[in-house]
């Protein structure tokens, strides 16, 4: 009767308010948007400094909205990478994007080694059953030598081979890592000094690492292991025992029933009820949760409105 609800820890919306309001808007609406735009610019000037602010604003406008990872260090490191880019520090931005992607790989491999239950791993791209135990054992033997190669050289291709064999990352995410490796590694060691300061190189690397986050670590969206009910995100039941989910998602999740209510946020606090010892399908859980949220109960309304409000809370760029 319960599912793991993914708790988002960071939201960002200021970057969506970096253009002045359109002149053709009704006067009252335009005045409100102008006030919001002015407040956003004032906050950004206080954060980044007024010197060279127009160039910084142009860099901010170039960036996409920051994806939210369920892994806290991803968000902190990505913030630093984006801030370097905004301030025109393009080589540090390029280097930090590359190193963040490498640290993501190391975090997965080092963490998943601590989880021995290979037989519990499931293919994150489908709902099919895992391979037979004999095949899992063969994979384990085959990846042992590859693991030794990773520990000796920290080669991205080796890391991706391991994680794909463990069915811990999606093929799309693997291709994104390979693309970032190919496009960024040589540029970090170029002899032509002018290449160190090119904005487009840093911008491309940032986009690539953000695409990895959206494909493999996002707290919302259409990833195969996520289940959405209104604005809430849960882990699908069949993926709860997958080592990747246990390592990455469950530390940022709370096990809750369909009648739970949000009492407080930052820090989060929930109230939940007792449930009978029985399981329900994901579809049934979605139906029960949606029905509960639609009840005219004041508590249910507060819970639902809180969830919607959080989607528009700005915390950094």
How much is the average pLDDT of 134-149? 59
CA distances from 217 to 85, 161, 254 (A): 22, 19, 17
Are 123 and 131 in contact by the 8 Å Cβ rule? The answer is no
Q: Which residue has the higher pLDDT, 54 or 308?
A: 54
DSSP code for 280:
-
Of 126-140, 238-252, 277-291, least confident by mean pLDDT is: 126-140
Q: How confident is the model at residue 117 (pLDDT cuts 50, 70, 90)?
A: very low
Residue 187: name the closest of 172, 174, 200 by CA.
200
CA-CA-CA-CA dihedral for 99, 103, 106, 111, to nearest 10:
180
> Where along the chain do its domains lie?
226-310
Q: Calculate the average pLDDT of the chain.
A: 83
Q: Using a cut of 0.95, tell me whether the model's pTM lies above it.
A: no
Looking at residue 138, its pLDDT comes to: 58
- The tens digit of pLDDT for each residue in 151-208 reads 666 788 888 988 998 889 999 999 999 999 988 876 776 666 666 678 998 999 999 9
Helix (H) / strand (E) containing 253: strand 253-257
Would the pLDDT of 121 be above 60? no
Would the pLDDT of 226 be above 70? yes
- The tens digit of pLDDT for each residue in 262-313 reads 998 878 899 999 998 888 999 999 999 999 988 876 444 444 445 544 444 4
Question: At what angle are helices 171-184 and 199-216 packed, to 10 degrees?
Answer: 160
Q: Other C-beta atoms within 10 Å of 71: how many?
A: 21
Cis peptide before 117 (omega within 30 of 0): no
CA–CA gap between residue 54 and residue 299 (Å, rounded)? 46
Q: Which residue has the higher pLDDT, 198 or 82?
A: 82
**Residue matched to tokens 């249910």:** 300
Residue 277: name the closest of 2, 40, 59 by CA.
2
């Amino acid at each position: 009767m319960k599912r793991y609800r993914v708790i988002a820890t960071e939201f960002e919306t200021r970057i969506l308010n970096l253009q002045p309001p359109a002149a053709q808007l009704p006067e009252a609406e335009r005045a409100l948007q102008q006030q919001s735009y002015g407040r956003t610019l004032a906050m950004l000037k206080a954060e980044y400094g007024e010197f060279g602010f127009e160039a910084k604003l142009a860099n901010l406008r170039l960036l996409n909205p920051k994806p939210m990872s369920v892994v806290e260090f991803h968000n902190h490191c990505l913030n630093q990478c984006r801030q370097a880019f905004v301030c025109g520090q393009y080589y540090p931005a390029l280097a930090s994007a590359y190193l963040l992607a490498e640290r993501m790989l190391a975090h997965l491999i080092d963490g998943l080694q601590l989880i021995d239950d290979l037989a519990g791993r499931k293919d994150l791209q489908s709902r099919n059953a895992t391979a037979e135990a004999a095949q899992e054992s063969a994979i384990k033997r085959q990846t042992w030598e590859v693991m030794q190669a990773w520990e000796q050289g920290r080669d991205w291709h080796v890391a991706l081979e391991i994680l794909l064999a463990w069915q811990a990352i999606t093929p799309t995410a693997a291709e994104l890592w390979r693309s970032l490796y190919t496009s960024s590694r040589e540029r970090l060691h170029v002899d032509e000094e002018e290449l160190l300061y090119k904005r487009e190189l840093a911008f491309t690397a940032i986009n690539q690492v953000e695409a990895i986050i959206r494909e493999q670590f996002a707290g919302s969206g259409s990833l195969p292991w996520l289940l959405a009910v209104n604005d809430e995100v849960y882990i699908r039941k069949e993926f709860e025992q997958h080592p990747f989910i246990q390592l990455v998602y469950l530390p940022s999740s709370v096990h809750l029933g369909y009648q739970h209510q949000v009492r407080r946020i930052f820090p989060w606090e929930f109230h939940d009820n007792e449930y009978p010892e029985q399981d329900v399908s994901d579809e049934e859980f979605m139906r029960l949760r949606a029905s509960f949220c639609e009840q005219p109960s004041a508590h249910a309304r507060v819970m639902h409105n809180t969830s919607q409000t959080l989607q528009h809370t700005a915390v950094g760029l």
